[in-house]
Structure 1
Amino acid sequence: MSTPDTLPPGLLVAFYGDDYTGSASVMEVMTFAGLPTVLFLDVPTPEQLARFVGYSGIGIAGVARSQSPAWMDENLPPVYRALADLGASVTHYKICSTLDSAPHVGSIGRAADLAIPVLGGDWTPLVVAAPGIARFQAFGNLFAVAADGRRHRLDRHPTMARHPVTPMDEADVCKHLARQTDRRFGLVDLVSMKAGQGGDALATVRAEGAEIVALDVVDEETLAEAGRLIWENRGQRLFALGSQGVEYALVAHWRRTGALAEPPAGSFVAEPAARIAAVSGSCSPVTAGQIRHAAENGFAAIRVDAALAVDAAAWDRELGRAADAALAALGEGRDPLVYSAAGPDDPAVAAMREAVRTSGQPAETVNDRIGAGLGRLLDRVMRDGGVTRAAIAGGDTSGHAAMTLGIHALTALAPVAPGSPLCRAHSDDPAHADLEIALKGGQMGAPDFFTAVRRGGRPA
């Protein structure tokens, strides 16, 4: 009988997430696999780190996905140096599972160029797909399930092809990222992965000069094979690019080798909440369906006019109106859900774009103002309404909104939807000492997402 492999002592994975919801999804994968993980909302102080000694994963959440390469040049190097100091076996730059990025905003290529000299080893694995979140990569092309329940190639995806900031016109992950960096790409394709020849294929593309190597993943078998290739070829240190598929792959490999056991059933649960408050800056049709479901199940859906955000004073007045309506809903025994749009076809989306265009302001500036404003609104509603559980929808919105809540770290509490756990917030602000929060990307979650957050999630 063979002896199961064992995991080395110390920190296994350190990561930076290019938006807050994506960062939380990495923490979720690790934690619910039985590997305690903490997510900091900024580079942690030594005192903050000391509270989480012995954790298997440490992450830092960020907003790089909505930022320019110039912003990355200024802000990412200190984060990378902090991650390097942690000494993890694998350090991961977490990207969206639908490759949200472009050369001018959220550039994954620029992020990699800055990271590899500080964090990199002999090669950089790229794992975007993960079957658990309905993302699949075959022969280098990424596919994602849409609101219609069908799998679409990314450049033909009904939402991602029309993304308001980074519309996707290329499904080949290497070609998409090659627009953002001059580094050479390689691919270990589906045939090699399924035939157990991934190691040989990896050696071949590396010998040909590939620096960043994409790994096809379509099922649990190829997921575990991707994890094996990463773990067995990590060397003294390894920098990885990808979605939470990186952690899904590592966990699958560790379980296959016996290095990691399944946690006991019922390990991660939360009690129902009497009331919750929610905000959404997402334009996704998935979120639109979730808002509609919530409104049909006792939530007070309160629209906010995001086009007013081109004027800071007008935006503050609009936020005050919406906060008053949310507090009134709480007084009536209802859960407020403040939202800026109900899907990509909502006229509010076109109105917002036109307002930004005529104002002459950068779209990023207005988007930041919207996210931060929704965070201030949520902060007021929770403080004045005595609410201790919240939900935020929208990747960029979650990042900016969470910054306003005085939270310095999150730990996963209970599953709600893949990629969007209910979290315990760690804050030095007594008003938020008991805060529980779920951060949701636009494409994530079942129709009952908001009601699931209210009832404490669902079984893992």
Structure 2
Amino acid sequence: MVSLLYAFYGDDFTGSTDVLEQLAEGGVPAILFLRQPDAAMLARFPDVRAIGLAGEARSQSPEWMNQHLPDAFAALGACGAPILHYKTCSTFDSSPSIGSIGRALEIGKAALGGIVPILIGAPHLGRYLIFGNLFAVAGGLVHRIDRHPTMARHPVTPMNDADMRVHLARQTSARIALATIDRIQAGDAEQLFLEAVDEGMESILFDGMDELSLAEVGRILLAHQGNRFRFAVGSSGVTRALILAWQAEGIVPPPTALPKAAAVNRLLVMSGSCSPVTAAQIGTARQDGFVTVQADVAALMAGSLAEEDRLVALARQAVTSRGRVVVHSAEGPLDADTSAAGAAIGAALGRISQAVVRQTGIRRLLFAGGDTSSHGVAQMGLDALAWAAPLERGAPLVRAHAAEPELDGLELVLKGGQMGAPNFFETVRRGG
């Protein structure tokens, strides 16, 4: 294997493919493993410069993290990459009890040492960190994250404070320095980084609002990786920052024209998202000729095999007759007395997807919803994913590697609940 530039652990599957997109656009060959790779699996991909492991920590407890993350970080750290990135969602949604980014930070620091840089801003996704406060685009408008129409009301990890140091202080006792945007623009970010190291700070949070600020942070990361730190936390802004630094130093070639996705006649969409964005996409898909099938959420949560069989039969029939179908657990925000149950719903939709793929031979599949993607894809028996083509920012087309012929080469799109235009499902079918 060639020397690795970078390794990452995605706290959900959707965000992991976002990193694959950034690496592909930056000319960095990469592979995303869906289970912890052994030497034989690594040997199947000798030419990659970056590797990732898609996880499910975003929907898990700190106790789960204590049990699973040390081994995952050790395995990735042993692959020789100078930096290991714990990839979070760009909305940074988490809590002390679910998806604790603070706990992941502590585990990574204990495993790899050094100060832990944090970079959340991802302007390519409409995410901006300014003076430590997070802002995100929704509906064409920029909202402070605690006033965001979706994230402020997230059913599992609602964001009720925009100050990310306050947010993290609820999850970790780590002392976190801040490099603000004015100091970054003034060229003082590296000085602030070194001061934080000298003062024994556990972490430093970097503002990020545009390509210039990301490029400056990337320069600092590249200069000090493997020396003053080996572990970083944040969105795909970390990836973007490093790519800008690698390109500036001539470590990776300039980007080339990207391939285009081909259109397909048949598409299966599995949605466990309760986002208003996904609800609008389901409605638009219905107008575009998709058959929409509503799941009985209570039955799926109760483990009803009869309900899974019903959904498989309806999806198979729709694929055969119309070529396109959406199976969904919700169409918009849940009622106040309804449990989100992302793990149970996602796992059920994954089993249904696998059955439909095997029975129909369909070759393109879209998962909508972060938890749905993580728990659904985990049920399908895939080994790894490679980037295939761009579709919409943050939701690329990827191609599966699997031992089972019916699944090998399957094309997937893993879409976060808030991602994509109203006609996104049809965009996936048409290939752009």
Normalised to the residue count of structure 1, the TM-score between the two structures is 0.90
Shift of 1:101: 0.7
User: Could you say which residue in structure 2 is the equivalent of 1:16?
Assistant: 9
1:156 aligns with one of 133, 137, 147: 147
1:194 aligns with one of 167, 177, 185: 185
1:337 paired to 2:326: yes
1:103 paired to 2:103: no
**Structure 1 spans left out of the alignment, 5+ residues:** 1-8, 357-362
Following the alignment from structure 1 to structure 2, what is the Cα–Cα distance between the partners of residues 84 and 417? 31
User: Could you say which residue in structure 2 is the equivalent of 1:272?
Assistant: 263
Q: Which amino acid aligns with 2:321?
A: E
User: Could you say which residue in structure 1 is the equivalent of 2:106?
Assistant: 113
User: Could you say which residue in structure 1 is the equivalent of 2:374?
Assistant: 399
1:92 paired to 2:85: yes
| Percent identity (aligned) | 46
Q: Which amino acid aligns with 1:246?
A: V
Following the alignment from structure 1 to structure 2, what is the Cα–Cα distance between the partners of residues 248 and 355? 38
Shift of 1:150: 0.4
1:354 aligns with one of 327, 337, 355: 337
Following the alignment from structure 1 to structure 2, what is the Cα–Cα distance between the partners of residues 295 and 256? 46
Shift of 1:445: 1.8
User: Could you say which residue in structure 1 is the equivalent of 2:199?
Assistant: 208
Following the alignment from structure 2 to structure 1, what is the Cα–Cα distance between the partners of residues 41 and 142? 42
After superposing the two structures, state which structure 1 stretch, 331-340 or 98-107, moved more: 331-340
Post-superposition Cα deviations, 1:273-327, rounded to whole Å, max 9, x if no partner, equal 12111100011111112212222212111111213333222xx322222222211
| Alignment RMSD | 1.5
Following the alignment from structure 1 to structure 2, what is the Cα–Cα distance between the partners of residues 409 and 331? 28
Following the alignment from structure 1 to structure 2, what is the Cα–Cα distance between the partners of residues 285 and 75? 33
**Equivalent pair of 2:265/2:323 in contact (CA under 8 Å):** no
**Equivalent pair of 2:384/2:400 in contact (CA under 8 Å):** yes
Q: Which amino acid aligns with 2:306?
A: R
Q: Which SS does the other structure have where 1:83 is aligned?
A: helix
**Equivalent pair of 2:116/2:233 in contact (CA under 8 Å):** yes
2:132 aligns with one of 130, 133, 140: 140
**Equivalent pair of 2:176/2:205 in contact (CA under 8 Å):** yes
Following the alignment from structure 2 to structure 1, what is the Cα–Cα distance between the partners of residues 310 and 365? 19
Shift of 1:367: 2.9
Normalised to the residue count of structure 2, the TM-score between the two structures is 0.96
Structure-to-structure mapping, 1:351-430, within 5 angstroms: 354=337, 356=339, 366-430=341-405
Following the alignment from structure 1 to structure 2, what is the Cα–Cα distance between the partners of residues 264 and 114? 37
Following the alignment from structure 2 to structure 1, what is the Cα–Cα distance between the partners of residues 365 and 226? 41
Shift of 1:355: 5.5
User: Could you say which residue in structure 2 is the equivalent of 1:254?
Assistant: 246
Following the alignment from structure 1 to structure 2, what is the Cα–Cα distance between the partners of residues 183 and 78? 22
Shift of 1:235: 3.6
1:68 paired to 2:61: yes
Q: Which amino acid aligns with 1:341?
A: A
Post-superposition Cα deviations, 1:136-188, rounded to whole Å, max 9, x if no partner, equal 00000000001x21000111111100000001111111111111111110111
Post-superposition Cα deviations, 1:236-292, rounded to whole Å, max 9, x if no partner, equal 351000011100111122333444333322x32222112111100011111112212
2:157 aligns with one of 148, 166, 176: 166
After superposing the two structures, state which structure 1 stretch, 34-43 or 172-181, moved more: 172-181
Following the alignment from structure 1 to structure 2, what is the Cα–Cα distance between the partners of residues 25 and 249? 14
Following the alignment from structure 1 to structure 2, what is the Cα–Cα distance between the partners of residues 342 and 262? 42
Q: Which SS does the other structure have where 1:431 is aligned?
A: coil
After superposing the two structures, state which structure 1 stretch, 17-26 or 253-262, moved more: 253-262
Following the alignment from structure 1 to structure 2, what is the Cα–Cα distance between the partners of residues 190 and 406? 44
Shift of 1:123: 1.2
**Equivalent pair of 2:105/2:116 in contact (CA under 8 Å):** no
1:30 paired to 2:12: no
**Structure 2 spans left out of the alignment, 5+ residues:** none
Q: Which amino acid aligns with 1:75?
A: H
After superposing the two structures, state which structure 1 stretch, 275-284 or 441-450, moved more: 441-450
Following the alignment from structure 2 to structure 1, what is the Cα–Cα distance between the partners of residues 119 and 107? 19
Following the alignment from structure 1 to structure 2, what is the Cα–Cα distance between the partners of residues 451 and 227? 36
User: Could you say which residue in structure 2 is the equivalent of 1:123?
Assistant: 115
**Equivalent pair of 1:382/1:388 in contact (CA under 8 Å):** yes
Following the alignment from structure 1 to structure 2, what is the Cα–Cα distance between the partners of residues 228 and 187? 17
1:318 paired to 2:318: no
Q: Which amino acid aligns with 2:210?
A: D
**Equivalent pair of 2:300/2:308 in contact (CA under 8 Å):** no
Following the alignment from structure 2 to structure 1, what is the Cα–Cα distance between the partners of residues 254 and 76? 28
Q: Which amino acid aligns with 1:15?
A: F
1:234 paired to 2:225: yes
**Equivalent pair of 2:301/2:345 in contact (CA under 8 Å):** no
Shift of 1:30: 0.7
Q: Which amino acid aligns with 1:108?
A: I
1:177 aligns with one of 164, 168, 177: 168
**Equivalent pair of 2:83/2:226 in contact (CA under 8 Å):** no
Following the alignment from structure 1 to structure 2, what is the Cα–Cα distance between the partners of residues 16 and 260? 22
Post-superposition Cα deviations, 1:337-364, rounded to whole Å, max 9, x if no partner, equal 11111222xxxx22xx6355xxxxxx7x
Count of residue correspondences: 430
Following the alignment from structure 1 to structure 2, what is the Cα–Cα distance between the partners of residues 209 and 264? 42
User: Could you say which residue in structure 2 is the equivalent of 1:287?
Assistant: 278
User: Could you say which residue in structure 1 is the equivalent of 2:406?
Assistant: 431
**Equivalent pair of 1:301/1:337 in contact (CA under 8 Å):** yes
**Equivalent pair of 1:188/1:213 in contact (CA under 8 Å):** yes
